[in-house]
A and B are shown apart, each in its own frame.
Chain A
């Protein structure tokens, strides 16, 4: 156990900084309170560096997954931080500046940043999970702070409504997968992921997975579907995204989603994508395969069709978040492919890569929304949300308009933007796994999606500003950091398509096939790290794991 601690330096650092941030935010002095954001950034930067230098725990089925999750978390976390800047306490701070006495009880700044960092810590811990209990705690550490962040992100009732909705449905999701985890424990007698894998392999070799464990797996998948906003657990998405401020919404689209996919990968890896020969793609055992197939098809279709009908950009992006989960489920279904498969054959790498692709473009869209405020005739000012609010943006704020257009087209997957580079591996892994019907559904869905992404892009860069009612105007939100975040994301969708950055994702998805108990020769089954210069490769596993000798029978 103690050696596991040594793999957690990034998380520990982040946690320590979080505590400091929490205290600093309560200070009476404004200049000290203002340190919260820079300190959070410093924490993320340090954690990122530590993540790159710490030896990760390389015992699981996916030896490089923790490294990927940590680095991604820190990198995207920094941009998210730029976007979240100035979300909490804005109204309160102006009142304090006017002379009201500072009351730590009414300030939410400290909580906001601290919860943000807590959530990211949870995400990083997810990647490290080697045990179901650990995984559950990590997932909850990721989610619980976000409920609060939704509530305090905006000073309006819809934010509170969103938070309550999110919390109750989240609790339902958590209960579902916790129940699933319990059943898995019941069916296998252990909570250790490797142990579960050994037990399940044994069961598969001798007449099939027992029904309790299978029920547990199914429930886990359905419960985790809440985190990734997949059908049938997607209902909260549009309301919550619309209710919370744009920074928090874009965080919701990245942090829980990534945690959910990482958890799905870890849970499904205990069953393994069983293949009959090393050269072919494997498949999940039957109930899981059908479940994910139907989930993927429905998630894509429901998300896209409902997004078409929206006029609120946040709702649109909410449904698009649902749809993108569907795309990723296709690659997840395809599984890791044969030994040493690269991005185009390894579905897990494709999922991880797509998480980057999606995060970048989605961040850009939300950042633009966060940059602008609509002041209505009664003097209230709110973040823009309606599709008409960005109409004619090109004539007043060309840079933001282009960011919006490029990011939404990248979400559409239009070549040569980053989105296309992400979608191509999903296509290829899906086809390689023989899921041709699913890939065709994916293609048609991309076409449906074209309708609303084009609408966003067109409104931003092609239309003329409409004549707005008297007293209503669109103004810049006084938070320059958000513009900066938007520009980073916009550049990212273009530049990252030219500079390949997928090698981390490929490593992250590298699946240790020896664990699936398929090949008989343990010597061949050692993971072949793809172009990795990480220290992890030095102490890669030195021998076959206990279950590598399980006969290659497949119980299906």
Chain B
């Protein structure tokens, strides 16, 4: 089942390559994207966790696949979906895939086969990352997502696309090679202990947790370097605005929706469980970096006039919240963080779709050139406002609950609570101050988002010079469709049914998850609790060693 899930896009790839007519390509690609979606839907409907039981109650283990790949280096093809976090992210990926195909129908008119082919490869690799239960397999999929994304940006992006693609590739590749060294080191330590060379995630997790804090710190640093670039954590974020701005719409959607989550997923599933002691020690510093990201990226957003860049920087800020919640390392924080991954994928993905649709009509993204589009494109403006609100965290929409949980997690994770004898606190090195500063980030987010929406949707209508001459009102009316340079001639003024079809499922999910996040929370709950339990265990262990050390010193001084 999982093999079918991951490799069905590749099957469609054959169809895309050998399709007799170019016009068939997009339909084949769509089929290839819908297959995983169907499989995921089937799995979700049968997933026992929906009813609140734990993920380990049997259903998911039937899925496990384990094949030998390259035994001499211990590489195995081990796939499983036994964690709710993976299930949720697989579902997100499977949902965004077909939408990207539908959303690209009019935007991509040249080298169609290459485009949809690489999109399918990308989908396959992304699904693989979340299913892999062997760290090298994970790494292979993780790394392989670079190639399709590189191609999508450098072939189908806008003017500065080549530099953006190279920067994107080099940043991520550098980080992940260091992460590979960390993974291999853990495998070596495990092999030295047990005599068996393996890269199995569970085995290595347990082996790595037993290491002393000093070693864990290095492992954590290596892994974090790889994953933090992808997230991106401030100050490693500089590739992201460029890549986002230059990427084609579907590329931006996938980049924001899924690829950034590879980083947070890696930290949650690999980095923290591998080195919980180091994670505890580094948490405050990483939280500070996350908050820096939230505030600085937020302030940068405020001054942007390129709307796509604005949303890109807002991703940096949002992922800052996600990381803050994760490094609170209590149930509320981590749960918020996981929810944030899904919600950010939905709302920011949708925002990029919206911007792409606007761009297809006006060929500009500058807030100086367009504005007040609500007058001309009311349906589009509705969606734009809706997703902006979802992204800023309006209560009732999906962004709110996750942002709230992340900040609450940080708020609770401090020793202040226990010291004051207050209920509700958890152990941790963050605390109300962290939450308070991060909270100001929410205000900044509200400012720049509202400013953006205000400028682009409301106010006096502004259109780029020259556009009004053969505006859409007439372009789709008569024979202007074939007007030279007017390659968007078939687009109506406002959204077409196809475009609404792309945005509507996302909007519905945003609303549903905002009103009733319980199913998603139940789904990820066991996995979150497992991670938190690992951290708690390490914390007590660290306290015990510290106490023992204290006893020793006090015994010495007493003597």
Contact = CB atoms under 8 A, between A and B. Distances in A.
Contact of B70 (A421, A431, A458): A421
B197 A458 contact: no
A432 interface: yes
B77 to A, nearest CB: 10
Interface stretch (B181-189, B459-467, B496-504): B181-189
Contacts, number: 91
A343 B150 CA distance: 32
A451 B154 contact: no
B191 interface: yes
A257 interface: no
Nearest to B166: A454
Given A436-B185, A451-B166, A424 B73 contact: yes
A506 B192 CA distance: 19
Contacts of B181: 427, 431, 436, 439-440, 443
B7 to A, nearest CB: 13
Contacts of B191: 344-345, 432
A421 B166 contact: no
A416 B140 contact: yes
Interface string A425-464: 1011001100010011001101100110010001000100
B74 A500 contact: no
B144 A462 contact: no
A344 B154 contact: no
A403 to B, nearest CB: 16
Interface string B141-165: 0011011001100110000000000
Nearest to A446: B177
A342 interface: yes
A436 B73 CA distance: 19
A503 interface: yes
B180 interface: yes
Q: Is the interface of A mostly helix, strand, loop or mixed?
A: helix
B143 A342 contact: no
A323 to B, nearest CB: 14
Interface stretch (B167-175, B237-245, B288-296, B337-345): B167-175
Contacts of A342: 72, 197
B177 A443 contact: yes
B140 A428 contact: no
Contacts of A451: 166, 170
Contacts of A345: 191, 197
A431 to B, nearest CB: 5
Nearest to B143: A415
A516 interface: no
A428 B184 contact: yes
Contact of B185 (A431, A444, A454, A497): A431
A227 B170 CA distance: 32
B150 A454 contact: yes
Contacts of B180: 424, 427, 443
Contacts of B177: 443-444, 446-447
A450 B73 CA distance: 23
A68 interface: no
B178 to A, nearest CB: 5
A414 interface: yes
Contacts of A414: 143-144, 146-147
The size bracket of the interface on B is 20 to 34
B139 interface: yes
A327 interface: no
A329 B213 CA distance: 31
Given A440-B178, A443-B177, A447-B170, A502 B72 contact: yes
A116 interface: no
Nearest to A530: B72
Contacts of B144: 414-416
B16 to A, nearest CB: 15
B71 interface: yes
A425 B73 contact: yes
Max chain B C-beta neighbours (<10 A), residue from A409, A428, A443: A443
B140 A447 contact: no
Contacts of B143: 414-415
Nearest to B147: A414
Nearest to A405: B147
Contacts of B139: 415
B23 to A, nearest CB: 21
A420 interface: yes
Contacts of A425: 73
A503 B70 contact: no
Contacts of A431: 181, 184-185, 188
A424 B184 CA distance: 8
Max chain B C-beta neighbours (<10 A), residue from A415, A420, A446, A503: A415
B331 to A, nearest CB: 35
Contacts of A444: 174, 177-178
Contacts of B185: 431, 436
A415 B77 CA distance: 14
Interface in B49-70: 69-70
A428 B169 contact: no
A451 B165 CA distance: 11
A447 B173 contact: yes
B166 A343 contact: no
Nearest to A433: B188
A462 B73 contact: no
Contact of A458 (B154, B170, B184): B154
A420 B184 CA distance: 13
A500 B71 contact: yes
Contact of A343 (B73, B136, B170, B188): B73
Interface string B511-550: 0000000000000000000000000000000000000000
B72 A420 contact: no
Contacts of B74: 344
A456 to B, nearest CB: 13
Given A414-B147, A421-B73, A462-B151, A454 B197 contact: no
Contact of B187 (A428, A436, A443): A428
A416 B192 CA distance: 26
Interface in B106-157: 136, 139-140, 143-144, 146-147, 150-151, 154-155
Contacts of B154: 458, 462
Contacts of A428: 73, 184, 187-188
A497 B143 CA distance: 16
A506 B73 CA distance: 11
Contacts of A344: 72-74, 187-188, 191, 197
A420 B178 CA distance: 14
B189 to A, nearest CB: 9
B108 to A, nearest CB: 15
B155 A462 contact: yes
Interface in B473-493: none
A409 B151 CA distance: 14
Nearest to A451: B170
Contact of A443 (B69, B169, B170, B178): B178
8 contacts: A342-B197, A414-B143, A414-B144, A415-B143, A424-B75, A450-B170, A454-B169, A503-B72
- The 10 residue pairs across chains A and B that have the minimum distance between CB atoms: A447-B174, A415-B140, A443-B177, A502-B72, A343-B72, A427-B184, A450-B173, A431-B185, A432-B188, A428-B184
Given A425-B73, A458-B150, 14 more contacts: A343-B73, A344-B73, A344-B74, A414-B147, A415-B139, A416-B140, A424-B75, A431-B185, A436-B181, A436-B185, A443-B181, A444-B177, A500-B72, A503-B72
Interface of B: 69-75, 136, 139-140, 143-144, 146-147, 150-151, 154-155, 166, 169-170, 173-174, 177-178, 180-181, 184-185, 187-188, 191-192, 197
